[in-house]
Structure 1
Amino acid sequence: MSNYLRKTSKNTKRTLQEMKDRGEKISMLTAYDYTMASIIDKAGIDVILVGDSASNVMAGNRTTLSITLDQMIYHAQSVVRAVKSAMVIVDMPFGACCGNPMKSLDAAVRVMQETGADAIKIEGGQEVSEDIKKILAAGIPVMSHLGLMPQSIHNYGNYAIRARNEKESEKLISDCLLVESLGVFGILLEKIPSHTATKISNMLKIPTIGIGAGSGVDGQVLVIQDVMGMNDEFSPKFLRRYADLHTVMSEATRHYIEDVKSVSFPNQSESY
């Protein structure tokens, strides 16, 4: 059995820091329900992110903006019940952390108290620095999310690569250094040039997790439905599918339909 599967204790922010310090890459996937979280936790994943991407892949919304704090708490509760080893990080949804530190703290406390998660993740840098400070002061671990920030999609106008020009790259680096100085335990970097992500990772003492940010970061995250090939309509350049569950499940469903209609299911051995 691989050493990566011999988990004897719960992963924490300290675990991730130790992994960065010794040069071991960090594996992260999203999960939004008990069954999926149980499977990937038992497989040895280091971190599970209860992402606001649940808005897209679980509820069918066009953006992440529609999901509420109550809905995020529901998904996180389901995941935490399943997890024995992985660190569980919960996204703060749109509007929960947006420049009102006391409101942000109240939302973060709810997440931690009602779900039993290990940490939260907040999109934004300097603009939400006071929110981050207030939450950290309450003893809640925070991961930052910079680069492409889906909650700001209406500002961007599209999901194009961020930090391609000098001004935006300088702002990204400045934000990374700022949130590190505030005390966040890690930064998720989404859809930025790989050379910029590598530069940032080498500058920072805290771990960086990438999605569409190349291999020079300290770890990788993907959405579980994308990794497992459940969504055959989403094919960004950074995605690698490790299974084709869309085909498997479609064929299984058709087979089930045929068996029901031909009365071959249930057979005698499947009946009481």
Structure 2
Amino acid sequence: MTKLSVNINKIATLRNARGPHARPDLLQVARDIERFGAEGITVHPRPDERHIRYQDVRDLHAVVTTELNVEGNPTPDFLALVREVRPAQVTLVPDAPEALTSSAGWDTILHQAYLRDVVAELHAHGSRVSIFLGIDLALMDAAATTGTDRIELYTEAYARQYTAGREAAVGPYRAAAAHAGRLGLGVNAGHDLDLDNLAFLHQQLPELAEVSIGHALVADALYLGLENTVQLYKRQLR
């Protein structure tokens, strides 16, 4: 079964618009999302804390009963946070501090030794590790040498090309997921997945262990309600 982890960064953005103690209550939203059927909560704290704050990660760790997935660039501050919290999963993302959203996967050849050291440290603290990655098979081979448990496929290109031709859009991802499976890597996926394109990706990637979805799900919830939306996304993964 492919698990749904809901990224709640956008909930924190809404809260922060009126101050750190304003509505919506981030912790209650996380509890509700789990109660509505999601199998995980994802957060991506950034150095400027423009949405998820470092303290949010600590607070969420105390209340999340499924799996907490913490994404981010492994800067010293980020690594100190995840060493303290020890979430179920840490997803390593090579985004710059000023990035609006994640826009590329790791060059695992260039950063192979560095990632190997980071993965070993995170494993020592009990976290599963996923590396955010494109669909270049050579980079996937290099990722496998780091000791990572999983890779997270960056699905922006799939989502962008989906309406023009879903078979052509999914083909490289199907090949990448199959290659990851042969390497012994678990496969996650995320970025721009929504109610239109998620079910087909799920059907075509039998290796898919988890999807992380935030922006589209929260946007849909404005019209459909949060409980209904979480369950609609879950339905795409059946």
What TM-score, normalized to structure 1?
0.49
Q: Distance in 2 between matches of 1:160 and 1:207?
A: 18
User: Taking structure 1 as reference, are residues 87 and 50 closer, same or farther at Cα in structure 2, changes over 3 Å only?
Assistant: same
Residue 197 (structure 1) aligns with: 201
Letter in 1 for 2:70: V
The residue aligned with 1:175 is 176
Q: Name 2:160's counterpart in structure 1.
A: 161
Determine the structure 2 residue equivalent to 1:106: 114
Residues 1-272 of structure 1 mapped to structure 2, 5 A cutoff: 26-32=39-45, 34-52=54-72, 69=74, 71=75, 73-83=76-86, 86-94=87-95, 97-100=106-109, 103-110=111-118, 112-113=120-121, 116=125, 117-125=127-135, 126-136=137-147, 140-148=148-156, 161-164=160-163, 165=165, 166-192=167-193, 193-200=197-204, 203-204=206-207, 207-211=209-213, 222=214, 236-239=215-218, 240=221
List gaps (5 residues or longer) in structure 1: 1-23, 53-67, 149-155, 212-221, 223-235, 244-272
Deviation for aligned residue 1:34: 4.4
Q: What code does the residue aligned with 2:60 have?
A: I
Hey, what's the Cα distance between the residues in 2 that align with 1:96 and 1:195? 23
Distance 2:42 2:105 in 1: 23
Task: Tell me how far apart the structure 2 counterparts of residues 44 and 162 of structure 1 sit (CA, whole Å).
Answer: 35
Contact 2:187 2:210 (C-alpha < 8 Å) held by counterparts: yes
Any unmatched runs of 5+ in structure 2? 1-36, 46-52, 96-103, 227-238
Instruction: Report the AA paired with residue 161 of structure 1.
Output: R
- CA distance in 2 between counterparts of 1:162 and 1:190 reads 13
**Residue 50 of structure 1, CA deviation:** 2.9
Determine which structure has more spread, i.e. the larger CA radius of gyration: 1
RMSD of aligned alpha carbons: 3.4
Is residue 146–residue 188 contact of structure 1 (8 Å, CA) maintained in 2? yes
Per the normalisation by structure 2, the TM-score is: 0.55
The answer to whether the Cα contact below 8 Å between 1:96 and 1:104 also exists between their aligned partners in 2 is: no
Name the SS for the 1:28 alignment partner.
strand
State the secondary structure of the residue aligned to 2:181. Answer: helix
Query: Quick check: 1:50–1:88 contact (8 Å CA) kept in 2?
Result: yes
Q: Is the 8 A contact 1:30 1:49 kept in 2?
A: yes
Identity, in percent, stands at: 7
Give the whole-Å Cα distance in 1 for the aligned partners of 2:202 and 2:115: 33
